[in-house]
Structure formats: C-alpha cells, structure tokens
Amino acid sequence: MNTQRILAIAQKDLLEVRQNRYAWLPMIIVPILFVLILPLAMILIPPRLQLSPQELASQSDLEFFLQNMPPSMAQALAGLDEFQSMVLIMLGYLFAPFFLIFPLMFSTVIAAESFAGERERKTMEALLYTPASDSELFLGKVLAALAPAIGISWGSFILYALVLNTAGYPLFGYIWFPLPSWWPLILWITPALALLGTAATVLISARVHTFMGAYQTSASLVVLVVALLIGQFSGVIYLSVGIGLLIGLVLWLVAAGLTTLAVRSFHRHTLLTSD
C-alpha cells in the first residue's frame, strides 16, 4: 500500500472542500455556538438578570438529574455554592454529549464531499483512472475527513476549556475545567466517532450522486449522540470516566469493523457503473 498516494488523495479532497461553503461553513458556525456563545451566556447572563439557581433548575428541568446523579458527580459539587454548582453541572456535565456532535458532523460533511462531490464536479472518471488501488483510494478519502474532524474537535475542546476557565475564574476562583469525565470523551470517544462517521459516509457517498444527498443520509448517525444526550438528561446514563471508556470501546470495535468491511467491499468499477 502506497502511503504517498493515500496522502495525495487526502490532500486533493481537502483542497476541494475549501471551495464548497456548504462543507466548511458548519465547521465554523457550530463551534462558535457551542464553544463561545452558549457557555458565555450561561456564565455571564444569569447574574446580570438576577436569576437564582432554583429558577434555572426548574426552567431547565434539571431536578431529576440533580436527585439521581452518581456519587462521583455529587462529590465534585462539594463546597460549591448554588450558582457554582449549576454552572458546573450545565457546562461540565450536561454539555458533554454536545461535543460528540463535532466529530460526527465534521467527518460526515467532509466525507460526503468525497465521491458525491467528484460526481457533481464531473471529475470522477479522472480520479478512478489514477494508479492508486481501490484500498488506497478509499483510505485517502477516509483520511481527508478523519484528520480535520478530530483536529477541529480537539481544537474546539481546547477553546472551550479556555472560555470556561477565563469566564468562570471570577466565579470559582480557580481553574476548574476540564473535569475527569471529559478526558475519555475527547481522547477516546471522539476519534472513534469520527472514524465511524467517516467510513459510513464515504460508503454512502460512493453510492449517492450529490453532496447534499450523501450528507443528509449520513446525518442520521447523529441519532447516536442524541441518544446519549437524552440518556444523560433523563438520568438513565451518566458519562462518567468508566462509562466513557466502555462506550468508546464499543464505538471503536464498530468503527474498526465497518472500516474493514468498507475497504474490502469497495471497488471502483461500481462507481463507474453508477455514475
């Protein structure tokens, strides 16, 4: 397997993504919303509006979460006042599943541009006649989506930590984020989701004729994150360190299996016949 060919295919795809605003625009808007606007609003606005933690809890329907949180989470609230506790719960725990949207969304956006984008630009035939093997062609497409998806997700996490600690320092008086449960989520679950979303979307993109069609079909993968989000809010599952490691293991196994299956089943002649 020729690594240079894989890297060349990935580089070409990334250059083409830059020319499609439907591909890169969500990668700017979504992080700005979840990393900057919402955290700053939750930390800075309630004191200015004189909203009490009790009002925020009732309005956000967090009472069930507060009553059923595991001891490890309850211990993190020890010694905090009510508003500090509310900020820690909202931004430190409940916001965590939102960050799992990043690797899925970024990887599926870029991967949807892979073969479907080639069809729309009428460059599919030239690509298929390159000396790269089927496996190299597929892995190049996967790498083009996987690397930026993980990189942007990790970059968003670093910026989120800076925002929380900078805006929250006057409230807490110390650096309080990230919490332990975030490390498996970012370093373990995020790459697994990015690989899962990329492999699935490249397969879809190879069979769908338009970028938007491939992206809309692969967007159903976000159901995985929505399930985790609902589970955490309802108290069915809490993203603790142990649970995060277990979820990540399952996702890695599924992603590795799907990627292996996709590489073995991918054949360029099917693209020529379906083009």
Which of 98, 171, 152, 123 lies closest to 12, judged by CA? 123
| Cβ–Cβ under 8 Å, residues 186 and 96 | no
pLDDT score for 141:
84
Which CA distances in Å does 273 have to 120, 125, 128, 213, 270? 16, 11, 12, 19, 5
Question: What is the pLDDT at residue 63?
Answer: 64
Q: Which of 98, 205, 198 is nearest to 148 (CA)?
A: 198
Q: What local confidence, expressed as pLDDT, does residue 173 receive? A: 94
Rounded average pLDDT over 13-37 = 82
The type of residue at 78 is: A
CB atoms within 10 A of CB 220: 11
pLDDT tier for residue 275 given thresholds of 50, 70 and 90: very low
pLDDT one-digit tens code per residue, 148-164: 999 999 999 999 999 99
CB atoms inside a 10 Å sphere around CB 273 = 7
Secondary structure (DSSP) of 134-149: HHHHHHHHHHHHHHHH
* pLDDT (average), residues 181-193: 94
pLDDT reading at 112 higher than 80 = no
Task: Spell out the long-range contacts of 52-58 with Cβ–Cβ below 8 A and sequence spacing 24 or more.
Answer: 52/82, 53/82, 53/83, 53/85, 53/86, 54/82, 56/86, 57/86
Number of neighbours of residue 163 by Cβ within 10 angstroms: 19
Residues in the chain, how many? Answer: 275
Looking at residue 235, what is its pLDDT?
A: 64
74-85 mean pLDDT? 83
Per mean pLDDT, which of 10-14, 136-140, 168-172 is the most reliable? 168-172
pLDDT value of residue 156: 95
Q: What is the mean pLDDT of the chain?
A: 81
> Taking the model in full, what pTM does it have?
0.85
Report domain extents, the chain.
Answer: 3-274
**Structure confidence at residue 217 as a pLDDT band (50, 70, 90):** low
